[in-house]
Structure 1
Amino acid sequence: MSTAALPEPPYYMVSFSSQRTKLDNGYGEMGYAMTELAKQQPGYLGFESARGADGFGILISYWKDEDSIRAWKSVVDHIQAQNRGRSDWYTRYEIRVALVTRTYGFNIEET
Protein backbone atom coordinates (compact mmCIF):
# COMPACT_ATOMS: atom_id res chain seq x y z
CA MET A 1 0.00 0.00 0.00
CA SER A 2 1.25 3.44 -0.85
CA THR A 3 0.05 6.86 0.15
CA ALA A 4 -2.30 8.72 -2.15
CA ALA A 5 -0.81 11.34 -4.45
CA LEU A 6 -2.68 14.47 -3.41
CA PRO A 7 -2.65 18.16 -4.31
CA GLU A 8 -1.52 20.85 -1.93
CA PRO A 9 -4.11 21.59 0.79
CA PRO A 10 -6.75 22.59 1.43
CA TYR A 11 -8.87 19.53 0.70
CA TYR A 12 -11.11 17.25 2.74
CA MET A 13 -10.71 13.75 4.07
CA VAL A 14 -13.31 11.23 5.15
CA SER A 15 -12.07 8.66 7.64
CA PHE A 16 -14.03 5.40 7.81
CA SER A 17 -12.94 3.27 10.80
CA SER A 18 -14.64 -0.11 10.98
CA GLN A 19 -14.71 -3.49 12.64
CA ARG A 20 -15.47 -6.31 10.18
CA THR A 21 -17.60 -9.38 10.75
CA LYS A 22 -15.98 -12.74 10.04
CA LEU A 23 -18.03 -13.37 6.87
CA ASP A 24 -16.77 -12.14 3.49
CA ASN A 25 -20.12 -12.49 1.69
CA GLY A 26 -19.05 -10.38 -1.31
CA TYR A 27 -17.16 -7.76 0.71
CA GLY A 28 -14.03 -7.79 -1.46
CA GLU A 29 -15.97 -7.42 -4.69
CA MET A 30 -18.09 -4.60 -3.29
CA GLY A 31 -15.02 -2.81 -1.95
CA TYR A 32 -13.39 -2.93 -5.37
CA ALA A 33 -16.59 -1.75 -7.07
CA MET A 34 -16.98 1.18 -4.65
CA THR A 35 -13.34 2.20 -5.10
CA GLU A 36 -13.78 2.25 -8.87
CA LEU A 37 -17.08 4.14 -8.59
CA ALA A 38 -15.59 6.73 -6.21
CA LYS A 39 -12.76 7.39 -8.68
CA GLN A 40 -15.39 8.49 -11.22
CA GLN A 41 -17.00 11.05 -8.90
CA PRO A 42 -16.36 14.78 -9.33
CA GLY A 43 -14.04 16.05 -6.61
CA TYR A 44 -12.49 12.64 -5.77
CA LEU A 45 -8.75 12.91 -5.07
CA GLY A 46 -7.66 9.48 -3.79
CA PHE A 47 -7.79 7.01 -0.92
CA GLU A 48 -5.65 5.00 1.50
CA SER A 49 -6.68 1.96 3.51
CA ALA A 50 -5.41 -0.69 5.89
CA ARG A 51 -7.02 -3.58 7.76
CA GLY A 52 -5.54 -5.63 10.59
CA ALA A 53 -5.82 -9.37 11.16
CA ASP A 54 -8.37 -8.64 13.92
CA GLY A 55 -10.74 -7.10 11.32
CA PHE A 56 -10.25 -3.48 12.38
CA GLY A 57 -9.63 -1.19 9.42
CA ILE A 58 -9.37 2.41 8.38
CA LEU A 59 -10.13 3.79 4.92
CA ILE A 60 -9.50 7.44 4.22
CA SER A 61 -10.86 9.04 1.08
CA TYR A 62 -9.82 12.50 -0.06
CA TRP A 63 -12.10 15.04 -1.70
CA LYS A 64 -11.88 18.51 -3.21
CA ASP A 65 -14.73 19.94 -1.10
CA GLU A 66 -17.71 19.11 1.10
CA ASP A 67 -20.14 19.21 -1.83
CA SER A 68 -18.19 16.35 -3.45
CA ILE A 69 -18.42 14.34 -0.23
CA ARG A 70 -22.18 14.92 0.03
CA ALA A 71 -22.66 13.93 -3.62
CA TRP A 72 -20.69 10.69 -3.08
CA LYS A 73 -22.75 9.84 -0.01
CA SER A 74 -25.93 10.08 -2.10
CA VAL A 75 -24.83 7.90 -5.07
CA VAL A 76 -27.40 5.08 -5.26
CA ASP A 77 -24.84 2.24 -5.56
CA HIS A 78 -22.94 3.68 -2.60
CA ILE A 79 -26.13 3.82 -0.53
CA GLN A 80 -26.75 0.14 -1.33
CA ALA A 81 -23.18 -0.70 -0.25
CA GLN A 82 -23.71 1.23 2.99
CA ASN A 83 -26.84 -0.80 3.70
CA ARG A 84 -24.98 -4.06 3.01
CA GLY A 85 -22.23 -2.90 5.33
CA ARG A 86 -24.66 -2.49 8.20
CA SER A 87 -26.42 -5.81 7.54
CA ASP A 88 -23.49 -8.04 6.49
CA TRP A 89 -19.95 -6.72 6.93
CA TYR A 90 -19.49 -4.47 9.96
CA THR A 91 -20.14 -4.82 13.65
CA ARG A 92 -19.42 -1.10 14.09
CA TYR A 93 -18.01 1.89 12.22
CA GLU A 94 -17.26 5.56 12.69
CA ILE A 95 -17.02 8.24 10.00
CA ARG A 96 -15.14 11.48 10.47
CA VAL A 97 -14.90 14.37 8.00
CA ALA A 98 -12.01 16.83 8.28
CA LEU A 99 -10.51 19.73 6.42
CA VAL A 100 -6.81 19.19 5.70
CA THR A 101 -4.97 22.49 5.95
CA ARG A 102 -1.37 21.31 6.17
CA THR A 103 0.62 18.18 5.33
CA TYR A 104 4.21 17.04 5.77
CA GLY A 105 6.04 13.74 5.84
CA PHE A 106 9.20 11.71 5.37
CA ASN A 107 10.33 9.33 2.65
CA ILE A 108 13.70 7.62 3.04
CA GLU A 109 13.84 7.06 -0.71
CA GLU A 110 13.92 10.84 -1.22
CA THR A 111 16.82 11.52 1.17
Structure 2
Amino acid sequence: MRISSLPDPPYYMVSFTSQRTDVDDGYGEMGHAMTELASRQPGYLGFESARGADGFGILISYWKDEASIRAWKSVVDHVEAQRRGRKDWYSRYEIRVALVQRAYGFDFAKQ
Protein backbone atom coordinates (compact mmCIF):
# COMPACT_ATOMS: atom_id res chain seq x y z
CA MET A 1 0.00 0.00 0.00
CA ARG A 2 1.08 3.56 -0.52
CA ILE A 3 0.06 7.00 0.69
CA SER A 4 -2.61 8.47 -1.59
CA SER A 5 -1.94 11.62 -3.58
CA LEU A 6 -4.93 13.85 -2.97
CA PRO A 7 -6.09 17.28 -4.09
CA ASP A 8 -5.92 20.28 -1.80
CA PRO A 9 -8.70 20.28 0.81
CA PRO A 10 -11.53 20.45 1.38
CA TYR A 11 -12.55 16.84 0.74
CA TYR A 12 -14.08 14.06 2.82
CA MET A 13 -12.68 10.91 4.33
CA VAL A 14 -14.46 7.77 5.47
CA SER A 15 -12.63 5.77 8.12
CA PHE A 16 -13.57 2.08 8.30
CA THR A 17 -11.96 0.55 11.41
CA SER A 18 -12.58 -3.16 11.77
CA GLN A 19 -11.75 -6.36 13.59
CA ARG A 20 -11.70 -9.44 11.34
CA THR A 21 -13.10 -12.85 12.18
CA ASP A 22 -11.23 -16.03 11.22
CA VAL A 23 -13.53 -16.54 8.21
CA ASP A 24 -11.85 -15.87 4.85
CA ASP A 25 -14.39 -17.31 2.35
CA GLY A 26 -13.88 -14.79 -0.45
CA TYR A 27 -12.74 -11.87 1.71
CA GLY A 28 -9.64 -11.02 -0.35
CA GLU A 29 -11.47 -11.26 -3.64
CA MET A 30 -14.29 -9.05 -2.38
CA GLY A 31 -11.78 -6.51 -1.07
CA HIS A 32 -10.08 -6.28 -4.47
CA ALA A 33 -13.43 -6.03 -6.25
CA MET A 34 -14.61 -3.22 -3.91
CA THR A 35 -11.35 -1.31 -4.37
CA GLU A 36 -11.74 -1.48 -8.15
CA LEU A 37 -15.44 -0.62 -8.05
CA ALA A 38 -14.92 2.33 -5.68
CA SER A 39 -12.19 3.74 -7.92
CA ARG A 40 -14.75 4.05 -10.74
CA GLN A 41 -17.32 5.96 -8.65
CA PRO A 42 -17.90 9.67 -9.23
CA GLY A 43 -16.20 11.69 -6.53
CA TYR A 44 -13.70 8.98 -5.49
CA LEU A 45 -10.24 10.36 -4.71
CA GLY A 46 -8.26 7.42 -3.27
CA PHE A 47 -7.79 5.12 -0.29
CA GLU A 48 -5.23 3.87 2.20
CA SER A 49 -5.40 0.74 4.33
CA ALA A 50 -3.49 -1.37 6.81
CA ARG A 51 -4.29 -4.59 8.66
CA GLY A 52 -2.36 -6.13 11.53
CA ALA A 53 -1.64 -9.80 12.14
CA ASP A 54 -4.30 -9.72 14.89
CA GLY A 55 -6.99 -8.82 12.31
CA PHE A 56 -7.35 -5.18 13.35
CA GLY A 57 -7.52 -2.92 10.30
CA ILE A 58 -8.13 0.61 9.14
CA LEU A 59 -9.23 1.60 5.65
CA ILE A 60 -9.65 5.27 4.81
CA SER A 61 -11.32 6.27 1.57
CA TYR A 62 -11.30 9.84 0.28
CA TRP A 63 -14.19 11.52 -1.53
CA LYS A 64 -14.98 14.83 -3.19
CA ASP A 65 -18.22 15.39 -1.24
CA GLU A 66 -20.86 13.79 0.96
CA ALA A 67 -23.11 13.03 -2.00
CA SER A 68 -20.37 10.81 -3.47
CA ILE A 69 -20.06 8.95 -0.16
CA ARG A 70 -23.82 8.36 0.04
CA ALA A 71 -23.89 7.15 -3.57
CA TRP A 72 -21.04 4.69 -2.89
CA LYS A 73 -22.80 3.34 0.20
CA SER A 74 -25.81 2.40 -1.95
CA VAL A 75 -24.01 0.71 -4.90
CA VAL A 76 -25.57 -2.77 -5.16
CA ASP A 77 -22.28 -4.72 -5.07
CA HIS A 78 -21.08 -2.63 -2.13
CA VAL A 79 -24.34 -3.32 -0.28
CA GLU A 80 -23.66 -7.06 -0.77
CA ALA A 81 -20.09 -6.64 0.55
CA GLN A 82 -21.51 -4.86 3.61
CA ARG A 83 -23.93 -7.75 4.19
CA ARG A 84 -21.15 -10.34 3.90
CA GLY A 85 -18.97 -8.28 6.22
CA ARG A 86 -21.60 -8.30 8.97
CA LYS A 87 -22.38 -11.98 8.40
CA ASP A 88 -18.88 -13.46 7.99
CA TRP A 89 -15.83 -11.22 8.01
CA TYR A 90 -16.05 -8.73 10.88
CA SER A 91 -16.68 -9.17 14.58
CA ARG A 92 -16.89 -5.38 14.92
CA TYR A 93 -16.46 -2.25 12.84
CA GLU A 94 -16.86 1.50 13.11
CA ILE A 95 -17.35 3.98 10.28
CA ARG A 96 -16.54 7.64 10.71
CA VAL A 97 -17.03 10.38 8.11
CA ALA A 98 -15.03 13.59 8.36
CA LEU A 99 -14.41 16.76 6.40
CA VAL A 100 -10.71 17.33 5.81
CA GLN A 101 -10.08 21.05 6.01
CA ARG A 102 -6.31 21.02 6.16
CA ALA A 103 -3.67 18.50 5.09
CA TYR A 104 0.12 18.52 5.06
CA GLY A 105 2.95 16.01 5.10
CA PHE A 106 6.61 15.19 4.63
CA ASP A 107 8.38 13.26 1.90
CA PHE A 108 12.09 12.64 2.45
CA ALA A 109 12.55 11.80 -1.25
CA LYS A 110 11.40 15.30 -2.23
CA GLN A 111 13.90 17.23 -0.10
Into which bin does the TM-score normalised by the smaller protein fall? Answer: over 0.9
Q: TM-score, normalised by structure 1?
A: 0.98
1:68 corresponding residue in structure 2:
68
Cα deviations across residues 51-110 of structure 1 (Å, max 9, x unaligned)? 000000000000000000000000011000000000000000000000000001111111
Aligned residues: 111
For 1:87 and 1:107, locate their aligned partners in 2 and report how far apart those are by CA, in whole Å: 40
Could you tell me which runs of 5 or more consecutive residues in structure 1 were left unpaired when the two chains were aligned.
none
Structure 2 residue runs without a partner (length 5+): none
* Mapped pair 1:52 → 2:58: no
The CA RMSD over aligned residues, in Å, is: 0.5
Identical pairs, percent: 77
Question: Deviation above 4 Å: which 4+ runs of structure 1?
Answer: none
Q: What is the TM-score normalised by the length of structure 2?
A: 0.98
Q: Give 1:84's aligned residue.
A: 84
Mapped partners of 1:86, 1:70: distance in 2: 19
Q: Distance in 1 between matches of 2:71 and 2:62?
A: 13
